[in-house]
Amino acid sequence: MTSPLSRGHLAPAQLLTPADVAELLSVTEAWVRRRAAAHLIPCTRLGRQVRFTAEQVQQIVETAAQPVAQLPAYGLTRRSRRAG
């Protein structure tokens, strides 16, 4: 049986396993399972099974995105390097 990832596309209503989501997000399956169990990421529960829609994976990405911290225009000054 091939995974949705190996086929190169996802149908809108297709459900992904935690392993599929972990591969898509480059995280461990345990990371996905722990956060789903703690209700920190959106998921679909089918009895004891946890599955994800493509929309839920997109929500995970969007809510996990963090802005990049801005650095000073010229980097660190000598004074700030000594103070640290």
Q: What CATH number labels 7-66? A: 1.10.1660
pLDDT tens, the chain, 84 aa long: 566 655 666 655 789 999 999 999 999 999 999 999 999 999 999 999 999 999 999 999 999 887 777 766 665 556 655 555
What are the domain boundaries of the chain?
Answer: 7-66
Q: Mapping DSSP to helix (H, G, I), strand (E, B) and coil, where does residue 44 land?
A: strand
- Please give the DSSP secondary-structure letter assigned to residue 47: T
Dihedral (CA of 39, 45, 48, 50) sign: negative
Tell me, what's the pLDDT at 67?
79
Residue 56 in contact with residue 25, Cβ under 8 Å? Answer: no
